Amino acid sequence: MARAEQLPLGRGRRETPAERRRRIRTRELAATRLGPPDGWLLGSVGLVAAFGLMAVYSASFAVGLREFNNPYYFFTRQAAALALGIGAFVVTYLVDYRVWKRFALWGLLIAYLGLILVWHTGDPQYGASRWLQLGPLPAWQPSEFAKLALVIYLASWLEKQAGRRVGFVRWALPFGITVGGLVGLILFQPDLGTAVMVGTIALGMVFLAGLSAFQIGFVGLAGLAVVGLLAVTEGYRARRLAAFKDPWADPQGIGFQIVQSLIALGSGGLFGRGFGASRQKFAYVPGAHTDAIFAIVAEELGLVGGLFLLSLLGFVGYRCLRVGLNAPDRFGMLLAGGVATWLVGQTFVNVGGVTHLIPLAGIPLPLVSYGGSALVVTLAALGIVANISRHRPAAEADEDGKG
């Protein structure tokens, strides 16, 4: 007698997992229609990426000439990363976003593995082990990939939790283990800024998933308490906190970066000194082409240029959120919303640190700061959002076609 799995479907047997996946896949494809992508999103992402490449060149040619005898050292590497990032964007744009649900768990496991490897065998730079070197390949940051892996995993997991009560064992415990594990591994590098961003992304996504403001506030306050404890118990973090409180108490020491960044911001005035004319990038502002690049942009292009850049980044985040709100399913909504939370939150933390609104966190400005790992992963995430923007509910598409 033939095996049950080979019999046609009927009242006497249940469908196999493979058949169920095919049925769901067919239903999902039938429920949506492909249309043009969000042109505003594509245009704004391209504009910010091009702006960032020119900003890296302007902010880095002095340090490139001084340290490598090549003013184009950082520019050429950022241009190569941008080309790779565009390739990643094209790939994720062409792949149906629902495919990533199949690899959500694998992506999270790879993120964990990368963070464990960098903890044990990573390449230490600036007193921290955040880069992983694999043979002749350029060093990369697993923590950047972990952001995308977490967004995809949480979007898939939270979609499955729809309609379930927020119980400790079924909901809160697995969420805490997943997010807490990533945060803990990133803190060991140590990288408090990225750890805070991972927590922020997770909280933003559970808010989009429908968790109450009270519950999110409780978790957020608990997280802030842990961050505060880590800040006062670790030497360099405590010094950063002291520098934030009064950077002018030690302007040549721990407060040097904040003071010099504020000088750059103030020197730009309304319209700036002009592109390439910054003075603070000449060995004054540490990380002028990385974490503090916004200070150089504001010095050269003034308040108008700085606000223009922030408006562009805010517009990218808005388009991502809009794509999420118009997504044909819950997974697409959470995925696009998670990317929006990531970009807007990281922009706020970076610019807030440079402008002395919050303590310096040492994280890059999305699509602008020098750094191949961050640029490639961010563009890959935006490619996924662009793919989501192509999908519309079939009924809505049919109505548009009739209209």
| Phi-psi sector, 377: left (phi>0), alpha (psi -120 to 50), beta | alpha
Question: What percent of the chain is predicted at pLDDT more than 70?
Answer: 77
Model confidence pLDDT, tens digit, residues 25-44: 555 555 667 889 999 999 99
Longest Cα–Cα distance in the chain:
85
Amino acid 383: pLDDT:
97
Residue 311 CA: distances (Å) to CA of 95, 223, 250? 29, 29, 34
Inter-residue contact 145 to 373 (CB < 8 Å):
yes
Tell me the residue range of the domain where 103 lies. Answer: 48-392
Question: Do 155 and 331 form a contact (C-beta atoms < 8 A)?
Answer: yes
Residue 12 lies in a domain: no
* Rounded-to-integer distance, Cα 138 and Cα 135, Å: 8
Q: For 326-353, what is each residue's pLDDT tens digit?
A: 999 999 999 999 999 999 999 999 999 9
- Write the CB contacts of 33 (distance below 8 Å, at least 6 apart in sequence): 391, 392, 393, 394, 397, 398
- 354 domain-assigned: yes
Average model confidence (pLDDT) across the chain: 83
Asked, for residue 33, whether it belongs to a domain, the answer is no
Q: Is 53 within the bounds of a domain? A: yes
Predicted confidence band of residue 221 (pLDDT cuts 50, 70, 90): confident
pLDDT of 403 over the 70 cut: no
Report the 10 Å Cβ neighbour count for 104. 20
**More confident call, 251 vs 1:** 251
User: Strands 123-125 and 128-131, how do they pair?
Assistant: antiparallel
- Write down the pLDDT at residue 166: 63
Q: How far is the C-alpha of 280 from the C-alpha of 45, rounded, in Å?
A: 28
Whether 370 contacts 296, CB under 8 Å: no
* Higher-confidence position of 176 and 149: 149
Question: Two tokens at 301?
Answer: 């292009």
User: Is residue 136, in this structure, part of any structural domain at all?
Assistant: yes
Element (H, E) at 347: helix 330-354
Number of structural domains in the chain? 1
Asked whether 268 and 281 are in contact (CB, 8 A), the reply is no
Q: Is residue 38 part of a domain?
A: no
Give the residue carrying structure tokens 């006062």: 232
Q: Is 10 domain-assigned?
A: no
Binning pLDDT at 50, 70 and 90, where does residue 101 land?
A: very high
Residue 16 belongs to some domain of the structure: no
What are the backbone angles phi and psi of residue 139, rounded to the nearest 5°? Answer: -65, 145
**Size of the chain, expressed as the number of residues it contains:** 403
User: 3-class DSSP state for residue 316?
Assistant: helix
Contact predicate 129/122, CB 8 Å: yes
pLDDT, position 49: 97
Q: How confident is the model at residue 359 (pLDDT cuts 50, 70, 90)?
A: confident
- Looking at residue 327, the DSSP 8-state letter turns out to be -
- The pair of structure tokens assigned to 172 is 């809160």
Q: Give SS3 for 128.
A: strand
Give kind and range of the element (H or E) at residue 390. Answer: helix 372-390
What pLDDT is stored for residue 94 in this prediction?
96
